[in-house]
């Protein structure tokens, strides 16, 4: 007898397929650990709605719409609901490609329209003030913190990418580094002279710390460390930035991502090609990068209206 096809066998449950899907996106697709956790959370919520032991081929489009409606009733943010819908669509797409289900009933579910907000970014004077905060405030580890701020702004890296930066990723002059971004995609980022000087100042102190702990850079590859000699996490960098932008610092709370936005708007304002910026930011879609052209246009218009005698 010929072996039965996937759909002729006993129908597989939603959770059974989901567990296989999680492995697939983490290993084959190379999604980051945080992305996999977010997808897992979305699918767990979905399973609470429909039942984790339900045969997946029994789930209907109407049930998925009801899940969406329930999340709306719970006052969940539109972006949260859209991420949930994306996770569910990808799960059903995976199941259909593997022929675990006869139809992809989630494919016709569309995202909620979300108003486009301009990403937060800093002015030239604000970014200068932030990068000088560690020099004037005795808060944490001045040389390290200054290097972090300078390098975030200089490269446009995500906070997770700076946290994951290793010494071997740099070229010999520390002018550029190969980093691994979203989707396990490698790209080259660049560092200008101020960020390189700040990095060299920090690296000297880093070596002293490691010598005291009887360690070397060969043992500890992470660039940014805490006082105990352990690698800083993305959360740790966010906390450091919060200290310098809170009541003890500039009193303007900003996120590491605001430095990435500031990098992008600065590059566009100064005439850099949008596709080149796309490469440096690691955006998979050019439309994501093009948001910054709208930001700079809006900023120019606002400045024009403020400065022109008939602007009001």
The residues annotated with a catalytic role in the active site are 158, 182, 257, 260, 283, 292
Can you read off the two tokens belonging to residue 249?
């610092």
Q: 269: closest CA among 75, 58, 123?
A: 123
CA atoms within 13 A on the CB side of 17: 28
Can you read off the two tokens belonging to residue 11?
């129908």
Within a 10 A sphere around the Cβ of 186, how many other Cβ atoms?
A: 10
Place of tokens 């700076």: 162
Torsion angle of alpha carbons 99, 103, 104, 107, nearest 10°?
A: 150
Report helix, strand or coil for 53: coil
Q: How far is CA 127 from the centre of its chain?
A: 21
The single-letter DSSP state of residue 189 is E
Task: List for the chain the helix, strand, coil content (%; round to 5).
Answer: 60, 5, 35
Asked whether 226 and 131 are in contact (CB, 8 A), the reply is no
Element (H, E) at 188: strand 186-190
Asked whether 169 and 179 are in contact (CB, 8 A), the reply is yes
CA dist 191 and 199 (Å) reads 10
Asked whether 217 and 167 are in contact (CB, 8 A), the reply is yes
């Amino acid at each position: 007898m010929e072996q039965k096809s996937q759909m002729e066998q006993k129908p597989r449950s939603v959770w059974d397929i989901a567990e296989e899907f999680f492995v697939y996106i983490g290993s084959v697709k190379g999604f980051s650990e945080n992305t996999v956790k977010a997808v897992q959370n979305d699918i767990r919520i979905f399973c609470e709605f429909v039942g984790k032991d339900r045969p997946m081929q029994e789930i209907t489009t109407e049930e998925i719409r009801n899940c969406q409606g329930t999340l709306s009733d719970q006052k969940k943010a539109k972006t949260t609901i859209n991420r949930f819908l994306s996770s569910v669509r990808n799960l059903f797409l995976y199941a259909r490609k593997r022929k675990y289900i006869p139809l992809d009933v989630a494919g016709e579910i569309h995202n909620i329209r979300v108003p486009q907000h301009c990403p937060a970014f800093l002015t030239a004077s604000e970014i200068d003030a932030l990068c000088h905060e560690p020099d004037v405030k005795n808060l944490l580890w001045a040389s390290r913190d200054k290097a972090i701020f300078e390098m975030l702004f200089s490269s446009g890296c995500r906070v997770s990418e700076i946290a994951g930066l290793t010494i071997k990723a740099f070229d010999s002059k520390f002018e550029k580094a190969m980093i691994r971004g979203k989707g396990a995609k490698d790209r080259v980022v660049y560092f200008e002279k101020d960020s390189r000087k700040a990095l060299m100042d920090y690296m000297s102190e880093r070596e002293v710390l490691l010598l005291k702990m009887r360690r070397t850079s060969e043992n500890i590859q992470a660039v940014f460390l805490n006082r105990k000699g352990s690698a800083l996490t993305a959360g740790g960098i966010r906390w450091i930035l919060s200290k310098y932008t809170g009541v003890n610092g500039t009193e303007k709370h900003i996120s590491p991502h605001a430095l990435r936005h500031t990098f992008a708007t600065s590059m566009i304002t100064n005439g850099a090609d949008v596709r080149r910026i796309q490469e440096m930011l690691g955006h998979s879609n050019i439309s994501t990068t093009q948001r910054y052209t709208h930001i700079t246009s809006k900023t120019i218009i606002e400045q024009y209206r403020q400065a022109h005698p008939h602007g009001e």
